[in-house]
Amino acid sequence: MQQIDSIIEAGWIIPVEPANTLLENSAIAIHNGRILEILDIKDARQKYQADALHQLPHHVITPGFINAHTHASMSLLRGLSDDLPLMEWLQNHIWPAESQHVNETFVKDGTQLAIAEMLRSGTTCFNDMYYFPGITAKTAIEAGIRSVVGLIVLDSPTIWASNADEYIEKGLEVNDNFRDEELATTAFAPHAPYTVSDKPLQHIQILANELDIPIHIHLHETNHEIEQSMTAYNMRPIERLKQLGLLTPNLIAVHMTHLQQNEIDDIAENGVHVVHCPESNLKLASGFCPVSTLSSSGVNVALGTDGAASNNDMDMCGEMRTAALLAKGLANDASVLSATQALEMATLNGARALGLESKTGSLVAGKAADIIAFDLNSIEMQPLYNPVSQLVYAGSRDKITDVWVNGQHLLANRNLTRMDQQEILDKVKSWQKQINS
């Protein structure tokens, strides 16, 4: 028998690849952080001897969620100023709070809070955009979660940098520092077309091509953004990015509400990825991403929570359900965005958007063992006819009992194994008093 690190036995496994596959009474063999194979439980017991055996007969196993758009450390601003439209919320509340309180400690403590919440919600990889990205990457590595940290760029000065050139210079340094990390990669993160001018956007595109990393940007989030672009540039933001050469497979466009058909055609033709943040967009009344039209046009659509300051949680289970229901309502078609498609958006589509599809996003031999386990043996999850539908339409994050990233057991029976929950709560309460004073 072959000695390996661990085996997970489960009642059901949804590997996501191949599509529409559901395996019963199967096991995942894991060694050195990678999936060796998925096989029948009886065969696994005959072939492997594992250091750790996890027997979960009432659970369904899926790939870990990929939260494709976050502002992790903004978790410390959760609930600060609710029920306001985006620009009023940003200009009159969030940006003033950030200018007063954000520093390296804020980013570290806020990121720890976000990671703890994400792990307990089944997220095994997150794509972030915020200041001090090196702190975010280091904090994520220490916690054991996979991350893509945004090398943020703006024209205006902040505590992180004074102008676009300095943002880019500091971002390149962060990229160099984490170039060889298994769990942390980078993406350029120009904040939005209305906060970054043409010259730095063109510079970012050149550098992204040279370094072969994505570009992560808020785009077409609100009508106000589009109206502002028409006034300043006499063109809509997508057309402006097209003229600047940014519509490429490297681009991760977040939100993408208020789209015209020609814009959908352009992003489909150029291989642009879209990240849908349904709950944040609904809460801020920003608009509706036309997910059904995008998908039918061949656009890869992933899911994100946005930051907890505007959501107000980082729960990908909620995003899956909201995305599916919203798409059906907008299309007036109950068959639009099936449960299977919603799960793909939350897993493999996110990996594709981030350029990580060869590493994570599905349960395939050779990929990283980024895995989550849902307990289906509860009042809320019974009777059980279709595990995939049950996850999307009846599931909730409190049913996620176990999480592995790169084969490491980071959540065991709802308990974080590498993070001190009480220490995190104590730090958060201290920040709450400081920010609320």
Q: Nearest CA to 108 among 127, 89, 133?
A: 133
Contact assessment for residue 303 and residue 68, using Cβ atoms and an 8 Å cutoff: yes
User: Looking at the domain 2-63+361-406, which fold is it?
Assistant: Urease, subunit C; domain 1 (2.30.40)
Burial environment of residue 173 by CB neighbours within 10 A (0 to 12, 13 to 18, 19 or more):
exposed
Q: Nearest CA to 276 among 249, 260, 295?
A: 295
User: Looking at the domain 65-354, which fold is it?
Assistant: TIM Barrel (3.20.20)
Dist. CA 163–CA 405, nearest whole Å: 37
Read off the pLDDT of residues 352-378 as tens digits, 9 standing for 90 and up: 999 999 999 999 999 999 999 999 999
Q: Can you give the pLDDT at residue 94?
A: 87
Q: Can you give the pLDDT at residue 235?
A: 97
Q: Is 413 left (phi over 0), alpha (psi -120 to 50) or beta?
A: left
For helices 164-177 and 133-143, the axis angle rounded to 10 degrees is 30
Q: 125 φ, ψ to 5°?
A: -150, 135
The b/e string for 298-310 (b: 16+ C-beta within 10 A; e otherwise) is: ebbbbbbbbbbbb
pTM over 0.95: yes
> Which ranges of 284-392 would DSSP assign to H, the alpha helix?
291-296, 316-331, 339-346, 348-354, 387-389
What are the boundaries of each domain within the chain? 2-63+361-406, 65-354
In Å, how far from its chain's centre is CA 99? 25
Dist. CA 146–CA 373, nearest whole Å: 17
Fold equal for 2-63+361-406 and 65-354 = no
Q: Is 342 left (phi over 0), alpha (psi -120 to 50) or beta?
A: alpha
Contact assessment for residue 243 and residue 198, using Cβ atoms and an 8 Å cutoff: no
Dist. CA 138–CA 115, nearest whole Å: 12
Give the residue ranges of the chain where pLDDT is below 50.
Answer: none
Q: Can you give the pLDDT at residue 181?
A: 95
Contact assessment for residue 287 and residue 223, using Cβ atoms and an 8 Å cutoff: yes
Read off the pLDDT of residues 83-118 as tens digits, 9 standing for 90 and up: 888 788 888 988 888 889 999 999 999 999 999 999
Contact assessment for residue 147 and residue 406, using Cβ atoms and an 8 Å cutoff: no
Q: Can you give the pLDDT at residue 95?
A: 85
